[in-house]
Amino acid sequence: MAQAVLSAPDLTAHGIADPGQVHWNLGTAALYEHAVRRAEGVVAESGPLVCLTGVHTGRSPNDKFLVREPSTASNVWWGKVNRDIAPAQFEAVKQRMLGALRGRELFVQDCFAGADPEYRLPIRIITERAWHSLFARTMFLASPAGETDPGHAPGFTVIDVPSVEADPASHGTNSPVFILLNFAERLVLIGGTSYAGEIKKSIFTVMNYLLPLRDVLPMHCSANIGADGDTALFFGLSGTGKTTLSSDPERRLIGDDEHGWTASGVFNFEGGCYAKMINLSAEAEPEIYSTTRRFGTVLENVVLDPRTRQLDLDDDTLTENTRGAYPISFIDNWVPSGQGGHPRNVVMLTADAFGVLPPIARLTPEAAMYHFLSGYTAKVAGTEKGVTEPQATFSTCFGAPFMVWHPTVYAKLLGDRIAEHGSRVWLVNTGWTGGPYGTGARMRIAHTRAMINAALSGALDDVPYQADARFGVDVPRTCPGVPADVLIPRDTWASGADYDAQAGRLAVMFTENFERFAAQAEPGIKAAGPRV
């Protein structure tokens, strides 16, 4: 039976009066016990804790709001991504939440975001669910289990109470779900949803605002490091292979999702990984698959046999967005410091379902900024209701939902870093070749790995290149381990005219999307886009 661990500090500074038992910095085993005791999850046959998130099986981007207040109002990129809410409405939601916590059993984790001590943000995560506390402890850089530090002064606090819902009519929210960020109060309120990823991404949003104030570029990317100490970054949206391609047995993993680039190098924001689990196999993803057989992994919405407790990673009955949170130390090739030097290579991944972008291309600094601002990938038919043919998707900076400043702020920081350190930038298409989705074939992962290995090793430095007249990028004519006819996308199509028509369609989509940034972007960046 789990025993209560009472805190040395208290929660009065956060306005939480008369709570029930408060469990402070519990470790993994104790949180397992509490989660099972409270019927929040079950232990699978192989060791992980399996929990359900209910109706919300993913993030709720339309329910995230930032308080519009004097200290941040002129800095925030207000609009569809950063919706505003009035201080009075935030206060009303907060009082509702604080009132609901009277007598409530609570779980607290004092953690940090940021592996670099100079830029580390102390955070406090207060939750009503034991498994959410375990998720936070897994994803962030945690304090020692069972210990409290009276000197831990959180730079930001997250209060996560899924059982509390907002009233849209009086609180100005979009629905009963709310993710509210208040930079003046250094406080995040989350309610109405049990999806644990909201905790992780709220702190990422916070870092995306705070770090540019210190001339640090926050990035939605993975990072690894080679045997000779060369760091590589991998930007990419969901489905492009960011996690897969950065998990390389020949290179060590710095982190799989969120990093900062400082004057000294790069650092991971987190202490854990948060990977999609659907259709995971030991053959395709051996390291990530092994984490589903580990005590300490938290699995969300993964189906298991109620009798044997064996997992079925292929079952998407609950959602296709099944997730697993696990300590990064579960990956054999990991970097304990969570830090690396300045990137020698930057890889921008796209899954082009139109089948027209080259499988790998070298970008000029201006083209790198163009594609960073564009953040292109494509949805394919069947991925969402109503999607019957490939649809272009643009998520600026490869993470629009979490960017607080105008995208050009992040683009300038990236451009300055690339110029200062001479980083090479590559555009890699992990999507389709020989035709669009439904006609062509998905790029072979073996070919993609060979191209990335060649780029990172320098094997593509001295090969001949061919300019792509439509997309304005330089395409290598040869690459070790890759047939030459794969490298030029037009050559893989049965009809060159069909390729030209499809490429023209995508070029128009790029151009129309970039109009959002045309006024702020430098002329050279705008000119680096596709030719219509």
For residues 26 and 132, is the Cβ–Cβ distance under 8 A? Answer: no
Share of the chain above pLDDT 90, in %: 84
Distance CA 357, CA 170 (A): 48
202: pLDDT confidence band, cut at 50, 70 and 90?
A: very high
Structural domain count of the chain: 2
Q: Which of 220, 252, 344, 470 is catalytic?
A: 220
The pLDDT score that the predictor gives to residue 156 is: 98
Residues 6+ apart with CB under 8 A from 281: 289, 313
In this predicted model, what pLDDT tens digit does every residue of 117-151 receive, in sequence order?
Answer: 999 999 999 999 999 999 999 999 998 888 888 88
Is 323 among the residues known to form the active site?
yes
Residues 77 and 113 in one domain: yes
Is 242 among the residues known to form the active site?
yes
Residues 193 and 229 in one domain: no
Which of 319, 335, 174 minimizes the C-alpha distance to 246?
Answer: 335
Domain end call among 214, 248, 274: 214
Residues 92 and 125 in one domain: yes
Residues 99 and 210 in one domain: yes
Q: Which of 110, 116, 230, 257 is catalytic?
A: 257
Give me the CATH number covering residue 134: 3.40.449.10
DSSP state of 334: B
Cβ neighbours, 10 Å, residue 92: 16
The pLDDT score that the predictor gives to residue 7 is: 41
Residues 97 and 238 in one domain: no
Domain end call among 214, 238, 269: 214
Domain interval for residue 476: 217-261+342-527
Q: Which of 23, 28, 53, 59 is catalytic?
A: 59
Distance CA 46, CA 526 (A): 52
For residues 171 and 139, is the Cβ–Cβ distance under 8 A? Answer: no
Identify the helix (H) or strand (E) that includes residue 368.
Answer: helix 365-374
Q: Which of 238, 364, 383, 478 is catalytic?
A: 238
Residues 115 and 223 in one domain: no
Which of 325, 343, 323 minimizes the C-alpha distance to 254?
Answer: 343
Cα dist from 314 to 280, 286, 317, 331, whole Å: 7, 15, 9, 22
Give me the CATH number covering residue 470: 3.90.228.20
Residues 112 and 250 in one domain: no
Residues 6+ apart with CB under 8 A from 455: 345, 347, 360, 424, 426
Q: What number is the average pLDDT over the span 351-355? A: 94
Q: Is the dihedral of CA 30, 34, 40, 43 positive or negative?
A: positive
Residues 169 and 51 in one domain: yes
Domain end call among 149, 179, 214: 214
Q: Is residue 283 part of a domain?
A: no
In this predicted model, what pLDDT tens digit does every residue of 369-408 receive, in sequence order?
Answer: 999 999 999 875 434 444 445 688 999 999 999 999 999 9
For residues 37 and 1, is the Cβ–Cβ distance under 8 A? Answer: yes
Q: Is residue 335 part of a domain?
A: no
Q: Is residue 279 part of a domain?
A: no
Give the residues across from 334 on adjacent strands. Answer: 253
Q: Is residue 146 part of a domain?
A: yes
Residues 381 and 402 in one domain: yes
Q: Which of 23, 129, 132, 242 is catalytic?
A: 242
- Residue listed under structure tokens 């009082």: 95
Q: Is residue 504 part of a domain?
A: yes
Q: Is residue 47 part of a domain?
A: yes
In this predicted model, what pLDDT tens digit does every residue of 520-531 receive, in sequence order?
Answer: 888 999 999 999
The pLDDT score that the predictor gives to residue 177 is: 97
Mean pLDDT rounded to a whole number for the chain: 93
5: pLDDT confidence band, cut at 50, 70 and 90?
A: very low
For residue 319, pLDDT over 50 is answered with yes
For residue 3, pLDDT over 60 is answered with no
In this predicted model, what pLDDT tens digit does every residue of 241-286 receive, in sequence order?
Answer: 888 888 888 999 999 999 999 999 999 999 999 988 998 989 878 8
Q: Which of 28, 143, 231, 243 is catalytic?
A: 243
Q: Is residue 392 part of a domain?
A: yes
Q: Is residue 267 part of a domain?
A: no
Which three-class secondary structure string do you get for 134-165?
HHHHHHCEECCCCCCCCCCCCCEEEEECCCCC
Give the residues across from 442 on adjacent strands. Answer: 432
Looking at residue 61, its amino acid is P
The pLDDT score that the predictor gives to residue 380 is: 59
Q: Supply φ then ψ for residue 460, to 5 degrees.
A: -100, 5
Q: Which of 137, 201, 362, 424 is catalytic?
A: 201
Is 59 among the residues known to form the active site?
yes
Residues 513 and 455 in one domain: yes
Cα dist from 306 to 54, 268, 319, whole Å: 17, 37, 18
Residues 28 and 81 in one domain: yes
Residues 134 and 247 in one domain: no
HSE-up (13 A, CA, CB side) for residue 70: 0
The pLDDT score that the predictor gives to residue 254 is: 97
The pLDDT score that the predictor gives to residue 133 is: 98
Is 56 among the residues known to form the active site?
no
